[in-house]
Chains A and B, each alone.
Chain A
Amino acid sequence: MISVASFTKKFDGRPALDNISLNISDNSVYGLLGSNGSGKSTLLRSIAGVYTPDGGDILADGKTVFKNLEFKNSLFFVSDEPFYFAQSSLTEMSGFYKKFYTGWNENTYRRLCEVFPLDASARIAGFSKGMKRQALIILSLSCSPRYLLLDEAFDGLDPVMRSALKKVIAEKIADSSMTVIVTSHNVGEFENLCDTVAIIHKGRKVLERENSGDAGNIVKAQLAFAAEPDAGMFRDFDVLNFEMRGRLATLTIRGGFGETQARLEAMNPLFLDILPTTLEEIFIYEMEAAGYGASKLI
């Protein structure tokens, strides 16, 4: 288990991560969502030991991750910009990584080379953006890491490869108890992938929740009234979003599910339906609540 404990990282005196705390369970996929510059990549780099802390700590199984060679040997960080040596091929890069990761598995490497159709002897520099990412994913999974950090993992991958990657990740989690921490701008990617999702904004955690289909303390409801309702009648709710078409009102409300449903029913609607909330909606509403709403930007 990785625990990010009151972690702070500053760039030029300005906090990129500000006293953030997270708990990442083993054998799970942990999704990090956030606005641009929110600190997602910084957090991944910090977990990987690339960045040194300015406050707090990151612990893996109770031990600090920085300069922890044992932990690093069990972790692979796939950066948003894949690194490879100039003029090197996938084969040559595999030769590089196998020297440093004791968990390197040649069989996994060969199998992944079949899954991701890349020419292992060709120069990586000649690959497309998506192919470079595939190459690094092959290398990372071949190291059999206990912790896999994927920064913008699906960026540049076509839908087929995305699907393949998701399958491979799921397979590895099942086979080898791997923990994956993944960041993405594409919230939709997380819907069926992540066990836990955290949203961070301006270096702070906005939300951390299980991705079980339960929207937590956000309720999306559709109500129909006999007469056209007055928007003011919902003023006692913490309304995140409100739309009205004639006598039909659609609301997104922050609050406990049972309590909110009871209060809405108390308003005697002709019809009340609790709708499923997508992760994207949660993201948007939470970000709006954090002052990052599109309405403020435009």
Chain B
Amino acid sequence: MALQNLYKNKNVAMFLDVMRRNRGITLLYTFILFLCGPFVCFMNMVGETNNFKNSIEYLGPHAFAGLTVGALVAALIAATFTNSHFHSRTALDAYYALPLKREGLFLSHNLAGIACVLLPLILNWLFELLVPLAFMSYIQYVPLLSIFDLFVKTCAMAIAVYAITAFVAVQVGTHFETFLFGLIINFAVPILAGISMILFSGALYGFSDKAQALVNMMIYASPGVLMGYILVDTSMAKIYSVSVFGHGLAALVWFAIAALLLLAATYLFRRRRAEISGRPQPRTIIAFIIKIIALYGAGILMIFICVSLLGGGRIKDWFLPSVIFYIIGAALAFAMVEGALSLGFKDMLKKWKQFALMALCGLIVVVCAYTGGLGYETRIPKADSVKSVTVPGWIFESQELSGLNGYVPEYDTKGMYYFRNDLELNGLESINAFINLHRAFVDNREPREPAIAPQYQEEYSISANFTYKLKSGFDMSRNYGSASIDKSVVKDLYLGASEEADEKSNTLYTVNPEHVSLIYVRDRLGIGALNMSYGPTAQKTAYGEFLAALQTDMKSETAEQRLAPDKGRACVLGMNLTSGHSAEISIMPWYTNTIKLLDKYCPDYKNIDASEYNSAYIFNIPENWGHFNSASELLSRIYEDDAAPWPENKVSAMYYDYYGQVNMLTYGTTAEYLDELAEKQPELVTKVTDADKIQAMASNGISRVYYYSFQPNIYAVFVEGGYEGYIDALPCYPIIAN
């Protein structure tokens, strides 16, 4: 009993002694943390006091990101430092001869190391939180619970990083190995998953970077990456709510793993052979893992070099060269790592079996990727097994607010906007539409082309990225980048799913009248702002009427109407919101409720005045050229096709709007190119100067150009002065013929 007490006391003494000896570096670390956290926060507060609106800006969880990152880095370094005595033969002679149990020696050191990481963190965290609260009276709201949540996770992740590094330290011989291997092992799984992700992206048709297993491995298999993810999540979360509490279970699991790792390290330390200290240890399991990562990474890198050397072609043509390059890369990596770990190449040839085994592990993955990923490419779920399909919001772009493309809006009770960039569809029609699209992609996979498709393809080119949420609880994601697909499939997709998508994602559906600061009207060409006359009606009331009418009309608009408008738009209705966002909505003839209001408040909207346009250019381009949004884009296509050389020093840039939005270009010399083209290739470009014809075109053109609209490939460019004024899709040939 007396001996037990003695043993306990000595461990405490060692713990305190380690703390005492590390006080210098701990103070330095405390100061660095102060610079990373409280100092930056206070400077921001002092600098922005006059413009202060929301305390969250300064004292939200994201303000503690510097401390979080600092603690993680410190954990890695502290574990290396603390265990460095066990990598010195001289120190071990003293330590192992002390009347202390080895497990006590190890735990007292490493608990002290963890304390040295956490104590400065706690101090700085409290300092950053309490000082503003105590001295800055304007701090009104601080999400204490969220900040505490982040703090707890930071501590858990820092301990996990420390434990992993300490676990490595027990098995290696030098502190250089501890630091380097600790760093690599901390990120080993995300590194392997990331490398695999890159391989699959290049070799596997339809591979999605949302692949659940790989993404989970990348996020959750490393405390460092998980903490980074939590930080990003925190900064993007609804800071008024408590949604930052996500990943709590993962953090808890990592904390448990850290505890287990420390116990395992203690057990290993008890059995650790002192003679390994001070010498590199190329035979440990850690070194084995490092070699596997190096071989795999280098092999994949060589595959990329191989593919870039081949410069295109089909994936099946890449297979054999890729395998050869993989083996070369793996061999080079093995030689380098083995040379570094063993401090020479003397025994390298003797380890050819080890190399073969390691290279084979990676090679199996490579072969798997190049041969369809064990059915990955052809797997299509059945409709009754799918709960929902999640797609990016912009795939069904509609009347979006500017600056919000790709985001699905949400409003909280305080009128703040939050956005998520995916849209979940669970209607059976929507699900079937996506399964049909998926099947079309799968059917067209042979011959499989490289992931980077030629810029212009003979077929309709589409990018699609969607994730099935299966009833089994798993996700299944696919991503087809610029893949060729039959137009009818895309059309079916739009017809099948756009209504639900629009209902769920259209920003305007969720706008309240009090959010509207201004409504204005432009003519169908989108030019100028027309006078509004509200008469006795209050402006705000009229805005409310417009909003209600617009929402009613848009909700009743069918997918067919969107796809094949038989008339041009009536006018453009613009809307500015108090949030700073704005929208310009094409008012179609079937927007009857809105048009009634326009007739009432802005009857001039029907009068199209094209008199200021002095010329128009009509393009009669081949059908397979796809869709264009601007004259510049069209010209670029024409010149790239070598139909005509680029005029020197005239056009050096072009603007692609991928979402079908019309862009006003400001290239002052556009008309010159158009003139040149009309002269050289009259079969491609016709110049119209007759004012009546221009007026007719301006009055009857189909103005709303969507990416999925299937219009005749005829465009007109109206030129005002020397500038491109407007590009319009024309409804029919007779206008041109006349």
Q: What are 28 contact pairs spanning A and B, CB under 8 A? A: A11-B275, A45-B274, A49-B97, A50-B92, A50-B96, A51-B273, A52-B273, A67-B101, A69-B3, A69-B6, A69-B101, A72-B97, A72-B99, A77-B93, A79-B93, A79-B94, A82-B90, A83-B88, A83-B93, A83-B94, A99-B10, A99-B13, A99-B14, A99-B17, A100-B14, A100-B98, A100-B100, A102-B99
A75: interface (CB < 8 Å): yes
Q: Give the A-B pair count, Cβ closer than 8 A.
A: 66
- The binding surface of chain B is classed by DSSP as helix
Docked-complex contact A100 and B10, CB < 8 angstroms = yes
Q: Which A residues lie within 8 Å of B273 (CB)?
A: 51-52
Name the CB-closest residue of B to A72: B99
Are the C-beta atoms of A77 and B97 separated by less than 8 Å? yes
> Which residues of B have CB within 8 Å of A91?
none
B91 within 8 A of A: yes
Say yes or no for A70: interface residue by CB 8 A criterion.
yes
A58 CB to nearest chain B CB (Å): 13
CB distance from B348 to the nearest CB of A (A): 17
Interface pair B99/A51, CB less than 8 Å apart: no
A residues less than 8 Å from B96 (CB atoms): 48-50
Shortest distance from the beta carbon of B116 to any chain A beta carbon, whole Å: 16
Contact A75 B13 (CB under 8 A): no
Which residues of A78-125 are within 8 A (CB) of B? 79, 81-83, 85, 96, 99-102
Nearest CB in chain B to that of A46: its residue: B274
Kindly state whether residue A277 has any CB partner on chain B within 8 Å: no
Q: How far is the CA of A67 from the CA of B275 in the complex (A)?
A: 17
In this complex, which of A73, A81, A100 has the most chain B Cβ atoms within 10 angstroms of its Cβ? A100
Check if B491 is an interface residue, CB within 8 A of chain A: no
Q: Which residue of B lies closest to A86 (CB)?
A: B21
A-side interface residues toward B, CB under 8 Å?
Answer: 11, 45, 48-52, 67, 69-70, 72-73, 75-77, 79, 81-83, 85, 96, 99-102
B590 within 8 A of A: no
Instruction: For the complex formed, measure the closest distance between the CB of A67 and the CB atoms of chain B, giving whole angstroms.
Output: 7
Which one of B88, B89, B92, B99 contacts A100 once the chains associate, using CB atoms below 8 Å? B99
Report Cα–Cα, A233/B14, bound state, in Å: 69
Identify the B interface with A (CB < 8 A): 3, 6-7, 10, 13-14, 17, 21, 88-94, 96-102, 271, 273-275
Closest residue of chain B to A70 (Cβ to Cβ) is: B3
A51 CA to B102 CA, complexed, in Å: 12
A136 nearest in chain B by CB position:
B94
Q: Are A50 and B10 in contact (CB under 8 A)?
A: no
Nearest first, the 5 closest Cβ-Cβ pairs linking A and B are A79-B93, A73-B99, A83-B94, A72-B99, A77-B97
B268 to chain A, nearest CB (A): 13
In Å, the complex CA distance between A70 and B98 comes to: 10
Check B3–A67 contact: CB distance below 8 A.
no
CB contact between A67 and one of B13, B14, B102 (< 8 Å): that residue:
B102
Cα distance A96–B13 in the bound complex, in angstroms: 9
**Nearest CB in chain B to that of A88: its residue:** B21
Note all chain B residues with C-beta closer than 8 A to A73. 99
In the assembled complex, the CB of A104 is this many whole angstroms from the nearest CB of chain B, namely 11
| A76 proximity list for chain B (CB < 8 A) | 97
Q: Would B99 and A50 count as touching, CB distance under 8 A?
A: no
Q: Quick one: given A67-B101, A69-B100, A72-B98, are A50 and B13 in contact (CB under 8 Å)?
A: no
Q: Shortest distance in angstroms between B422's beta carbon and chain A's nearest beta carbon?
A: 55
A-chain residues with CB within 8 Å of residue B13 when the two chains form the complex: 99-100
**Contact yes or no, A96 B101, CB < 8 A:** no
Residues of A within 8 A of B88 (CB): 83
Report chain A residues within 8 Å CB of B101: 67, 69
- Chain A's closest residue to B92 (CB) is A50
Complex Cα spacing A96 to B18, Å: 10
Q: How far is A83 from B17 in the complex, measured between Cα atoms in Å?
A: 16
Given the interface contacts A52-B273, A67-B101, does A85 sit within 8 Å of B93 by beta carbon? no
Q: What is the CA–CA distance of A76 and B97 in the complex, to the nearest angstrom? A: 7
- Contact (Cβ within 8 A) B10 A51: no
- Contact A50–B3 (Cβ < 8 Å): no
Partner of B97, one of A48, A82, A96: A48
State A226–B541 Cα separation when bound (angstroms): 145
**Cα distance A172–B6 when bound, in Å?**
26
A102→B6 contact, CB < 8 A? yes
In the bound complex, residues from chain B placing their C-beta under 8 Å from that of A79 are 90, 93-94
Q: Judging by beta carbons under 8 Å apart, are A50 and B274 in contact?
A: yes
* A70: chain B residues within 8 A (beta carbon): 3, 99
Residues on the B chain within 8 Å of A102, using CB: 6, 99
Contacts of B102 in A (CB 8 A): 67
B93 with A45: CB separation less than 8 A: yes
Given contacts A72-B100, A75-B97, 19 further A-B contacts (CB under 8 A): A48-B96, A48-B97, A50-B97, A51-B273, A67-B101, A69-B99, A70-B3, A72-B99, A76-B97, A77-B93, A77-B94, A77-B97, A79-B94, A81-B93, A83-B93, A85-B21, A99-B10, A100-B98, A100-B99
Smallest CB separation, A198 vs chain B (Å) = 21
Cα–Cα distance between A274 and B96 once the two chains are bound (Å): 48
Query: Which of B13, B14, B97, B274 has the most chain A CB within a 10 Å cutoff?
Result: B97
Which residues of A have CB within 8 Å of B17?
A: 96, 99
If A69-B7, A70-B3, A100-B99 touch, whether A51 touches B275 (CB-CB below 8 Å) is yes
Give the docked Cα–Cα distance between A148 and B569 (Å). Answer: 100
Q: How far is the CA of A77 from the CA of B93 in the complex (A)?
A: 7
Contacts of B90 in A (CB 8 A): 79, 81-83
Contact B100–A50 (Cβ < 8 Å):
no
Q: How far apart sit A97 and B333, CA to CA, in the bound complex (Å)? A: 47
| Shortest Cβ distance from residue A11 to the other chain B in the assembled complex, whole angstroms | 6
A96 CA to B97 CA, complexed, in Å: 14
- Give A266 to B99 CA distance when docked, in angstroms: 60
Name, among A48, A67, A69, A79, the residue most crowded by chain B CB atoms within 10 Å (CB to CB).
A69
**Residues on the A chain within 8 Å of B91, using CB:** 83
In Å, the complex CA distance between A77 and B94 comes to 7
- Given the complex of chains A and B, what is the CA–CA distance between A73 and B97 in angstroms? 9
A48→B14 CA distance, assembly (Å): 19
For A51, list chain B residues within 8 Å (CB). 273-275
CA–CA, A51 to B93, complex, Å?
Answer: 9
Contacts of B99 in A (CB 8 A): 69-70, 72-73, 100-102
Q: B88 to nearest A CB, angstroms? A: 8
In whole angstroms, what is the CA distance A101 to B94 when docked?
12
Residue of A11, A77, A83 with most chain B CB atoms under a 10 A cut-off: A83
Bound state CA distance, A50 and B277, in angstroms? 11
How far is it, in angstroms, between the C-alpha of A85 and the C-alpha of B25 when the chains are bound? 14
Q: Within the assembled complex, what's the spacing in Å between the Cα atoms of A101 and B102?
A: 16
Complex Cα gap A76–B14 (Å): 17
Q: How far is the CB of B102 from chain A (nearest CB, A)?
A: 7
Interchain nearest-CB distance for B713 vs A (Å): 76
Chain A neighbourhood of B3, CB < 8 A: 69-70
